[in-house]
Structure 1
Amino acid sequence: MRVVYDPRHVFYSPKNELNGFNMVENRDKPGRIERIKEIIQLKYGNIIVSSKDFPRSYLYFVHSSDYVSWLKEKQYTLENNQEYFPRVFGYDMCMDTKTPISKNTFEMAWISAKCALTGASLLLEGEDLIYSCSRPPGHHAGINYCGGGSYFNNAALATRYLQKTGDIYVAVLDLDFYAGNGTQDVFYNDNTVLTVSIHGNPSNHYPYISGFEWEIGENEGKGYNVNFALKDDINGRIYLRVLEKALLEIEDFDPDFLIISFGSNTHKDDLTTTFNLEDEDYKDMGEMISYLNIPKLIIQESGFNSQSTEKIIANLFDGLII
């Protein structure tokens, strides 16, 4: 196992987010990744590798040139310590008003993406299990928009990087509480990528407009997008039964690589979400995933409770490394 980490993520420090009409403190703090890195080092020793550099043109594997230019140019209009809150579609290329842009957002999102791309490159070099300490998250970013604190879609970029080497099939499993709407958007018409997401019902939870069970893909991608939208207050037993169904879908697809967008916000102690998974459920989750004999890249998404996250990550890898 290798863990990809870039210390420059600490310079991504958003101060606020706009929740409806209220300005509240942004919960994405650098400490959440720093604590994960410390826990992994204590358990497994020196398995940390630095992110590599890549041509910025790789962003266009996934995102439109208009969107990339918009995000880059928007940050250049800002002063130090200034935060801009997008005014959603029709004015800005963003799906919500709570995804702040600051003077270094573009560069910080690109560093996060490079961690994921580095993980993909290590898979191609023969590694079987990689964890990418990506921050900010990425799975809500679509082809031509940001949202949900996501600017570039790390999982999608890693997928396209793997596929540029040849006839490669990839499964993307999203285990964040919130639906991976951006990843779904990128691959909705693609039969070379299976996207599977287990999440809270979007009738009640972000992103509200996507992640429903009837969204199964279109054109060549029809049947290659699977959403498991779950009720509030479910426990680990129910979640793991759904995960078993998701893993069967992946096994049937028989991909060359598995990318997991992992959020630690499904835990009972995460007060912003409504699932009730216990610490030990994540070890079971890791064990179930480990039975898929496929090289795996795990990319960190959301999960802002550092105390629960350190236990979750420790248990997840105890299950994965059996």
Structure 2
Amino acid sequence: MKTFFDAQQHDHAPAVELHNGAYVPYAEHRGRMESVLAALDQVESPRDFGMEPIRRVHGDAYLDFLQGAHARWVAAGRSGDAHGYAWPVVGRRPLNLNRIDADLGQFSFDASSPIAAGTWGSAYWAAQSALAATEAVMDGERAAFALCRPPGHHCGADYLGGYCFLNNVAIAAEAAIAAGRGRIAILDIDYHHGNGTQDIFYDRGDVLFVSIHADPASDYPFFWGHADERGTGAGEGATLNLPLPRGTDMNAYRAALDISLRAISDFGADMLCVSFGADTFAGDPISQFALQTAEYTPIAQAIAGLGLPTVITMEGGYAVDALGANVASFLAGFA
């Protein structure tokens, strides 16, 4: 399978994140990708598709903020990574405020996603990897894999969070639509709900969003991913959330997967985009499902059984020592 990754994706290197009330070492570090790269046979560097495909998903104000945030943080006399600490949850949403602290709140939804000096470059090349995988599939590959770091599915059109800065799978889906694919299905199988992806397509009828994830009543991101979220307007019925309890094993997971695949088949998609997170693994340090390494292969085989051209973008997975094996097991299902 063609796989895309650029070394500049290593440059995103925040030192710490806020987790469970304390600052702890940043979990989404370059060691994750090093583990995956060591397990793969061949990886290609993507070409540069430029900003236009990114702008189909993200607005100019957000992109301007993201590109300049760390430099503005330093110019304000701060050191280290840019961390938000105030969010416009109550009262009027602030607009056109000339202070980096305000913009960090306006364009994010959590405190776990600091912006480092290399964040923009890494996010940009993660998006280019997703676009390269999309191009490969549009050119006839049955499936292609974008090893995206940072991940993307928590990022909305104008906000970051959950380690995500550009929504790679949404950028891939929009690129496919711009190239002539009429109906796209997105299957999100990360442990955590892909709230940003859902938000981007929530009122769209040409993109089906299906997510199997931990019940947000107990797990991040809490405020999205409940079963009654079904889309709105033209997108009503084009969102399907299948929240599962902590401790879910392969039997229960496979039942939810079967429901997902039937929905995708009924939708009549021209192409499939998969947000793949290996944080469903039993040994993941921040997640609570019970899937085993060998079980990722039959999961992928079931998805491949749809017979759709498929773009796979990497999302989470934080059991670093096992991550390469888990990704390789999943990709083997498409062989």
> What range is the shorter-chain TM-score in?
over 0.9
Match of 2:3 in 1: 3
Match of 1:89 in 2: 87
Alignment check: 8 A CA contact 1:188 1:218 kept: yes
The counterpart of 1:75, out of the listed 70, 76, 80, is 70
**SS in structure 1 opposite 2:4?**
strand
Structure 2: which amino acid aligns with 1:26? Y
CA 88–98 in structure 1, closer or farther in 2 if over 3 Å, else same: farther
Partner Cα separation in structure 1 for residue 301 and residue 221 of structure 2: 29
Partner Cα separation in structure 2 for residue 212 and residue 184 of structure 1: 11
Residue 88 of structure 1: CA displacement?
A: 5.1
Structure 2: which amino acid aligns with 1:56? M
**SS in structure 2 opposite 1:38?**
helix
Match of 1:40 in 2: 40
Task: Give TM-score scaled by structure 2 length.
Answer: 0.91
Match of 2:22 in 1: 22
Task: Give TM-score scaled by structure 1 length.
Answer: 0.94
The counterpart of 2:57, out of the listed 50, 57, 62, is 62
**SS in structure 1 opposite 2:280?**
coil
The number of aligned residues is 316
**SS in structure 2 opposite 1:96?**
coil
Partner Cα separation in structure 2 for residue 186 and residue 242 of structure 1: 23
Residue 21 of structure 1: CA displacement?
A: 3.6
Partner Cα separation in structure 2 for residue 8 and residue 55 of structure 1: 15
Asked if 1:52 corresponds to 2:47, the answer is yes
Match of 2:224 in 1: 210
CA 197–88 in structure 1, closer or farther in 2 if over 3 Å, else same: farther
Residue 126 of structure 1: CA displacement?
A: 1.1
Asked if 1:313 corresponds to 2:327, the answer is yes
**SS in structure 1 opposite 2:40?**
helix
CA 27–216 in structure 1, closer or farther in 2 if over 3 Å, else same: same
Match of 1:261 in 2: 275
Where in structure 1 are there 5+ consecutive unaligned residues? none
Match of 2:130 in 1: 116
Structure 1: which amino acid aligns with 2:116? S
Alignment check: 8 A CA contact 2:155 2:167 kept: yes
Partner Cα separation in structure 2 for residue 279 and residue 102 of structure 1: 32
- Percent identity between matched residues is 29
**SS in structure 2 opposite 1:157?**
helix
Match of 1:231 in 2: 245
CA 81–297 in structure 1, closer or farther in 2 if over 3 Å, else same: farther
Structure 1: which amino acid aligns with 2:174? R
- What do residues 24-43 of structure 1 show as CA deviations (whole Å, max 9, x unaligned)? 110112122122122121xx
Partner Cα separation in structure 2 for residue 65 and residue 9 of structure 1: 22
**SS in structure 2 opposite 1:114?**
helix
- What do residues 167-199 of structure 1 show as CA deviations (whole Å, max 9, x unaligned)? 521100001000000000000000100000000
**SS in structure 2 opposite 1:265?**
helix
Where in structure 2 are there 5+ consecutive unaligned residues? 89-101
Moved more, 208-217 or 24-33: 24-33
Alignment check: 8 A CA contact 1:59 1:157 kept: yes
The counterpart of 1:188, out of the listed 186, 202, 211, is 202
Structure 2: which amino acid aligns with 1:64? G
Residue 86 of structure 1: CA displacement?
A: 1.4
Deviating above 3 A after TM superposition, structure 1's stretches of 4 or more consecutive aligned residues are 78-81
Alignment of 1:96-111 (within 5 A): 96-111=110-125
Residue 319 of structure 1: CA displacement?
A: 2.0
CA 117–33 in structure 1, closer or farther in 2 if over 3 Å, else same: same
Asked if 1:289 corresponds to 2:303, the answer is yes
Alignment check: 8 A CA contact 2:156 2:199 kept: yes
Residue 112 of structure 1: CA displacement?
A: 0.8
Residue 78 of structure 1: CA displacement?
A: 3.4
Partner Cα separation in structure 1 for residue 21 and residue 32 of structure 2: 27
Root-mean-square deviation (CA, aligned residues, Å) is 1.5
